[in-house]
Amino acid sequence: MEQERPGIIVIGAGVVGLAVAWHLARGGVRVTILDPAAPASGASFGNAGAISGGSVAPLAMPGVLKQVPGMLRNPRGALRIPPAYLPRLLPWLARFVAAARPAEVERIAAALHALQGHALDVHRQMLAEEGASHLLRETGHLHLYFDAAHHAKDAAAFALRRRFGQRFEILEGAQLHAIQPGLSPRYRLGVLVHDQGFSTDPHAHALAFLRGAERRGARLLRARAQAIITEGGRVAGVATDGGPLPAAQVVLAAGVWSAALLRPFGYRIPLESQRGYHIHLPNPGIVLERPVVAADRKVFLTPMASGLRVAGTVEFGGLTRPPDPRRAAYLLEDVRRVFPAASTAGTEGFWMGHRPCLPDSLPVVGPVARVPGLWCAFGHGHLGLTGSAPTGAVLAQAMLGQRPNIDLSPFAPERFG
Ligand X SMILES: Cc1cc2nc3c(=O)[nH]c(=O)nc-3n(C[C@H](O)[C@H](O)[C@H](O)COP(=O)(O)OP(=O)(O)OC[C@H]3O[C@@H](n4cnc5c(N)ncnc54)[C@H](O)[C@@H]3O)c2cc1C
Point out which residues bind ligand X (CB under 6 A).
Answer: 11-17, 34-37, 41-44, 47-50, 224-225, 253-255, 257, 276-278, 300, 311, 353, 355-356, 378, 380-386
Q: Of 258 and 344, which has the nearer Cβ to ligand X?
A: 258
Q: State how far the Cα of 293 lies from the Cα of 382, in Å rounded to an integer.
A: 14
Q: Of 183 and 377, which has the nearer Cβ to ligand X?
A: 377
Sheet holding 243-246, edge to edge: 225-231, 234-240, 243-246
Q: How far is CA 383 from the centre of its chain?
A: 3
Q: Of 365 and 406, which has the nearer Cβ to ligand X?
A: 365
Taking the complex as a whole, the smallest distance from the CB of residue 47 to ligand X amounts, in Å, to 3
Q: Of 11 and 213, which has the nearer Cβ to ligand X?
A: 11
3-state secondary structure of 53: coil
Q: Which residues contact 73 (CB under 8 A, 6 or more apart)?
A: none
Taking the complex as a whole, the smallest distance from the CB of residue 103 to ligand X amounts, in Å, to 26
Taking the complex as a whole, the smallest distance from the CB of residue 71 to ligand X amounts, in Å, to 17
Q: Of 145 and 257, which has the nearer Cβ to ligand X?
A: 257
Fill in the DSSP letter of residue 380. B
Q: Of 344 and 386, which has the nearer Cβ to ligand X?
A: 386
Q: State how far the Cα of 61 lies from the Cα of 98, in Å rounded to an integer.
A: 10
**Beta partners for 66?**
none
Q: Which residues contact 42 (CB under 8 A, 6 or more apart)?
A: 14, 255, 256, 353, 354
Q: Of 54 and 255, which has the nearer Cβ to ligand X?
A: 255
Taking the complex as a whole, the smallest distance from the CB of residue 224 to ligand X amounts, in Å, to 4
Fill in the DSSP letter of residue 232. T
Taking the complex as a whole, the smallest distance from the CB of residue 172 to ligand X amounts, in Å, to 26
What is the sign, positive or negative, of the torsion defined by CA atoms of 251, 371, 408, 5?
negative
Q: Is 396 exposed, middle or buried (0-12, 13-18, 19+ CB in 10 A)?
A: buried
Taking the complex as a whole, the smallest distance from the CB of residue 197 to ligand X amounts, in Å, to 10
Q: Kindly report the number of other CB atoms within 10 A of residue 149's CB atom.
A: 9
Taking the complex as a whole, the smallest distance from the CB of residue 336 to ligand X amounts, in Å, to 19
